[in-house]
Amino acid sequence: MKKWILFFIVFLSTTLFLCAQDDTYEDIFNQLPHFLTNQEKLLMDDWGKKIIPTQPPSSPVRAVAEFESMSSVLIRYPLGFPVSFVKTLAENCKVITIVANLSTQNSAISSFNGANVNMENCSFMIANTDSYWTRDYGPWFAFDGNNQLCVIDFTYNRPRPADDVIPSQYAIYDTLTSYLMNINQTGGNYMTTGTGIGASTMIAYTENNNNSANVNNMMNSYLGISDYLVLEDPNNTYIDHIDCWGKFLAPDKVLIRSVPTSHAQYNAIEQTAQFFANTQSSYGHPFKVYRVFTPQNQPYTNSLILNNFVYVPIMNSSYDADALAAYRQAMPGYTVVGVLGLSAAPWESTDALHCRTHEIPDRRMLYVNHIPLEENQPLQESYLIDADIISHSQGQIVSDSTLVYFRVNGSNYSSVPLTNISGTHYQALIPSPAMGDTVFYYIHCVDSNNKKANHPLIGYPDPHYFVLSIDQNAPLIVHSPINSVHLNDFPLTLTAEVTDNVLVSNVFLEYYTTDSTQVTSLVMQHIANSDVWTIDFNPSFNEQNYLYYRIKATDNSSPENISYYPINNWIVMQISSDNTEIPVINNKITLKSVYPNPLSLQQNNDFKIEYFSNTSGIITFDLFNIKGQKISTKKVYSSSNQTKTLTFSLDSEKNSISSGVYFIRMSGSGNHISKKLLFIK
């Protein structure tokens, strides 16, 4: 039954009330303003109180951002903009027009034909409406856990019963499943990045009894909004809609209006812009904030993004050109079009083009999920590109058309294939250029139903990029200290396992004795195809002595990064002669293998370690990241002369582990042995 019972109750009460004012229902609702009328305010206390919500969609749910791939646009007739704009829309997209009946549909067709609208791209949905603000009362969209597009419904925050049921009616019209949240909302006060972040002004809470926990839970359960940014309205207007001052342009881009310093809301607007500049986007860096100048409260942020087109309301003023230029700067490659309003229904600072249109997602879209590489990258042999590619049309990904295109500085684009790792997960390696170079790249893919997608969405005109900057990570040294040896043990072989995020350049053994405080530096030799460095050490001693040593490693960055083991001290080695008791050293542990290596964390939560010990006691296995930070520890008791296999589970650590190089260190009987692992997500 959804909202039909409530619809009838409110419809009847509203009709009786308005008729008492000597106006017909039809006349009043044909002239409804964007704000609440005095009559409507009297109805708000009971509005939406008897709604029975549905269960949320199956998880995981992903809300669709309005800058994603769209199949059509939803408008209402009579229009809230010039019919010439319908012609513009129908040249690039399907147009669905809500009409009250066949008579209204015929009027719309006559009007569209008079404007030379491409009628092949037009269809009509018959339904009653109270207003033309399809943005505010229209359906929201998300993909459910089965990758099916669905309608997310809500109680419209206006007591306008015909408008309020449009989402469920649209779901029937377009054969989509509809889910109803038990909260008051409005489309002009909602925007999402499509990657789990949403934003609204404070009415999202105040119009729901200030129950922020319930609102956040609804937004998460029904839309997958895990990070809901709810802000005070910096405009301080009656409507409190976020599209009056801000707009997400991409998962990491947001447009915020700006005003002169003399403007009453200057400080509040600047604080809002700074909030986004300090807020992490889903790409792991703060939002890139773009500004559009609105000195006379022009509604430039109240725009419509429809695939590769951006339609911006303009006011026929001297500021229009700069507003269009601001969009072109923020969205390279998009076609930015200025749209004048109707003289009878002009654009307002609180009501413009975005409010009167509503994009409809392509239910069969090809979707690419990718976290771009951080802007500053150290020099390394190659750069791993990870992506998840989902064909909502159930098509097969075309392997020879699924590529990462890249270029270095101003060169032409080259490509490398994206290889399927498992399920929807794909990877590619971009070969390394030189230090200081800038690498630009984008992902392009095609499925067997000829659906195409890029990441970023516009593709090559606005690619991701990273700069090969100065490496600030020093090598990591793993070494088993030798604290005492006999004089006859020399020459003594010392080894260290040394790794770096890029490349180890040199490893040195530095030492001095009690006879000489001068430090001597010896070059250690690299064992090919390993991380091991070694030296046969044979210094000169008296019969009894102490030797102080440490290991130094450098990388190939400029300037080079240097690390020491130990970090701040020296290892003290006691040298024993024939007349001195020789300490017993146990170094009889062996780390034989670690597998699988590399380990795909999407397929498996654990790896196995095969090890040998000829001593009885506790053996410790520590997992470190490339920075030397300990991630996890496992301890086992081992008997002598045993080879065993340990399963190292990562169930609790899996979410905190990212793709990259790690180390497993085995410790026992005062000795340490390490091996390198590669984790892939």
The catalytic site residues sit at: 355
* DSSP of 191-220: EE-SSSEEEEETHHHHTTTT-HHHHHHHHH
Element housing 72 (H / E):
strand 70-76
Contacts of 614 by beta carbon, 8 Å cutoff, 6+ apart:
588, 589, 640, 641
- Widest distance between CA atoms in the chain: 119
Q: Please tell me the distance from the alpha carbon of residue 620 to that of residue 449, in angstroms, as a whole number.
A: 53
Residue among 226, 255, 253, 252 nearest 243 (CA) = 255
The DSSP bridge partners found for residue 636 are 619
Contacts of 151 by beta carbon, 8 Å cutoff, 6+ apart:
139, 140, 141, 167, 168, 170, 171, 174, 176, 177, 178, 179
Element housing 16 (H / E):
helix 4-19
Encoded tokens for 186:
């409005």
* Range list of β-strands (E), 149-252: 149-156, 177-185, 191-192, 197-201, 227-231, 246-250
User: Chain-centre distance of CA 148, in angstroms?
Assistant: 21
DSSP assigned state of 556: S
The DSSP bridge partners found for residue 657 are none
* Range list of β-strands (E), 461-515: 464-468, 476-478, 484-486, 492-499, 504-513
Q: Where are the alpha helices (DSSP H) in 44-160?
A: 83-90, 102-114, 134-137
